[in-house]
Structures are given as C-alpha cells and as structure tokens.
Amino acid sequence: MPQTIVKGYKALVAEAEAAVETIPAEEAIGLVGRDDVVLVDLRDPRELEREGKAPGAFHCPRGMLEFWIDPESPYHKPVFAQDKRFVFFCGGGWRSALAAKAAQEMGLKPVAHVAGGFAAWKKAGGPVEGGEPKPGA
C-alpha cells in the first residue's frame, strides 16, 4: 500500500515563504561583497561544478545546515555565529525557502532567501565564478 503524503512539498515551501523574507535575485546581487551579509549557497558540489558560484558565497550543503548552525553540534561552523544577515539560495528557490525557515526557527536572524535561486541570479546577470562551459558553447 503506497504511503499517503499528508503535506506535499508545495505546501511546505509556501509555508516557508510566508514565514521568511524572500528577496528578488536583483536585490541579492547587490549584496555581494558586503561585510554585514553572508550569502549561503545550499547547492550540492555537483551543481557548483556545473553552474559555477556566486562570488564570496559560503557553501553549505543543504543536508548539513542544521548541524553547522547549532553551536552544540560537533559540526558547527563559526560563520553561523556571526552577527550578520544570512541570505540563502539554492538552484531554484525551494530548498532555500525551507532552509531559511529552519535557520530562523533555530534562532538565526535575520535570514532571507532568494526567489528563484541561482537560476534567477544568473538570469538577472549576477556574477558567476567557475562552472563548466556547456559543450558546443
């Protein structure tokens, strides 16, 4: 008998977006290089290799976020203990909405996430470092 999903990902993402600040990619691009902001890239390493990354963004694979935020965790990363604004992004904006909500619930603030993720970042002309050129390009 198949499992019945009580609440799907669309509902979870909508709830997250209602609970955290969502900023457009154009606004996020303007935050590059600011000392009071940490851009947090939640994509997996394969995505970074393929698509490139935002200059200065801190890479935190989504699966490690809660462990890296919590100072009681053996995996805690000091970057999350800073008094800064944390702006999360992923490939398309779903993982970052959920991650920003989780971070906020853990007490990290202020937090926001980028609507449309790295895809929107690139479409808006955001700077990109690295990445593999597409065959035939």
How far is 60 from 69, CA to CA, in rounded Å? 10
Number of domains forming the structure of the chain: 1
DSSP run (H or E) holding 12: helix 9-19
- The closest alpha carbon to 59, from 45, 73, 74, 75, belongs to 45
Is 56 a member of any domain? yes
pTM: 0.92
Q: What are phi and psi of 21, to 5 degrees?
A: -70, 135
Give the range of the structural domain holding residue 110, as residue numbers without chain letter: 20-123
Domain CATH for 41: 3.40.250.10
Q: What is the pLDDT of residues 15-46, one digit of tens each?
A: 999 999 999 999 999 999 999 999 999 999 99
pLDDT value at residue 1: 74
Is residue 6 included in any domain, yes or no? no
pLDDT digits (tens, 9 = 90+) for 41-93: 999 999 999 999 999 999 999 999 999 999 999 999 999 999 999 999 999 99
For residue 114, give the nearest of 11, 17, 19, 8 by alpha carbon.
17
